[in-house]
Structure 1
């Protein structure tokens, strides 16, 4: 018997044309994906993909199956929606995904009134990197997400919410470790950042400041706290830095523009209650 998960795996492989890329998007290992496709082909009684070193492409049977699989996937999603959601109001459980630092400034202005207006609404909040949150929305594990610099995908609706600037910030109180020095007058300031972020890497390539040391951390809140305490110069999104009154921007240094967006699966546009929830999140962020 063909499972909804196998249908989802098939459609993603057909879109990606590559098993390793499809496995990454689905968040599964390639061997597990390969095994699921073999089970699907055995159930269907036909080979659905031509396989080669360059990737995979649909057979004639696969092309026919793809058309029906899309319809089956839509029907399955509508069936799940009808079991837990009402078309007349926001009821049931919805999962919202968001980067933890984005959640700190975006959700508190929105959720209190939302929960007050819809007493039968239940929310589950999931936090992770925006890339991982997006992958979980694609897989149907998260209903809506507020993410940074979303990756375009055929199954997603992406609604831009606002822009943000990632840049250099320092404490309003000068210290030896956060002072920008001209020329070679003593050691440079300490840098506090997450070096693996593309935003950090981009602006560091553009800056002419020579930092003496780097404090690495994946916590934006810790970067802000250490920077405010005078430990060094931090690289932060402006919306995060705004939560710390002791910080000030260094506008003369390079910055990176982020896009904050709301995203959800395209088929959810047909659910009235879902449209209302998306609209409330969107209005609260703009």
Structure 2
């Protein structure tokens, strides 16, 4: 039985007119492609190519096999499309819900890999503020969603028919204006070290703000909130301008567009857990495929708090 890879090599040489040009088209080196063609000639029991100073031409046996090779490769490509359509990965739309951090740092590489494997599936991404994306899943507005919850904090309520699969857990870290004394040390900063420093924080109802203030108070570091903002991007900008310090997820600190000082806290008990919301046993093939890509990329970091 002829190897389809070698048949594709024969077709490429016939179309390119030389092994060198065919190798460049297929991503081989010329010697590697020559080896594939030599194996094909042994399988065929006949010379398939004649090399000359301007390139390569096919022999009569090569021309005969070329016709069959194109037919075989065409059938295999048709089978691939039909199997993809059967699996629900050819055509259609995959609707994804996300929040800002995940949409910026986690989702793009997974969607890029998905698009390379399934270019016929249209992608739609909608931004939410957690837990809005979970509600959107329950209403059928999206097929898969990324969400987060804080530790310590109340567990997220998950509607019937949905489940959370943790992808990663990140620490919350201290951010300061560049050169601030609290960010000068190399080791972790004890939580009590924040005592007396004004805090830039989220709105009072934000679950992370409540958790941060509770942990700091338990460590003897009650703080006064000087500024409030509804989003981490503005919190980081206000901190960068010297209006106070803040405790934010590590990915937000590292991705800030304004300059910041950063330091890890001790103990590292303030966490943010990022999960994918899915339908166990009832997701579309496209949604299940993207979830597998996300799991493969990030689940190794999903340490339980």
Give the alignment's TM-score, normalised by structure 1.
0.59
1:258/1:248 Cα in 2 relative to 1: closer, same or farther (>3 Å)? same
Q: Tell me the distance in 2 between the aligned counterparts of 1:90 and 1:259.
A: 33
Q: Tell me the distance in 1 between the aligned counterparts of 2:232 and 2:116.
A: 30
Alignment partner, residue 118 of structure 1: 118
Matched, 1:273 2:292: no
Give yes or no for contact 2:175–2:260 (8 Å, CA) kept in 1.
no
Q: Tell me the distance in 2 between the aligned counterparts of 1:272 and 1:168.
A: 41
**Which SS does the other structure have where 2:282 is aligned?**
helix
Pairing of 1:31-46 with structure 2 (within 5 A): none
Q: What's the CA shift string for 1:199-245, capped at 9, x where partnerless?
A: 21122123233545521111111212332343320121122112237
Q: Tell me the distance in 2 between the aligned counterparts of 1:247 and 1:253.
A: 19
Matched, 1:226 2:202: no
1:158/1:281 Cα in 2 relative to 1: closer, same or farther (>3 Å)? same
Give yes or no for contact 2:227–2:243 (8 Å, CA) kept in 1.
no
Gaps of 5+ in 2: 1-84, 150-155, 300-305
Give yes or no for contact 1:189–1:211 (8 Å, CA) kept in 2.
yes
Matched, 1:190 2:202: no
Alignment partner, residue 132 of structure 1: 132
Q: Tell me the distance in 2 between the aligned counterparts of 1:175 and 1:140.
A: 49
**Which SS does the other structure have where 2:159 is aligned?**
coil
Q: Tell me the distance in 1 between the aligned counterparts of 2:160 and 2:236.
A: 36
Give yes or no for contact 1:189–1:213 (8 Å, CA) kept in 2.
no
Deviation, 1:96, is 0.7
Larger radius of gyration: 2
**Which SS does the other structure have where 1:240 is aligned?**
helix
Aligned residues: 194
**Which SS does the other structure have where 2:265 is aligned?**
coil
1:191/1:96 Cα in 2 relative to 1: closer, same or farther (>3 Å)? same
Gaps of 5+ in 1: 1-84
Pairing of 1:155-166 with structure 2 (within 5 A): 155-166=161-172
Alignment partner, residue 263 of structure 1: 277
Give the alignment's TM-score, normalised by structure 2.
0.55
**Which SS does the other structure have where 1:119 is aligned?**
coil
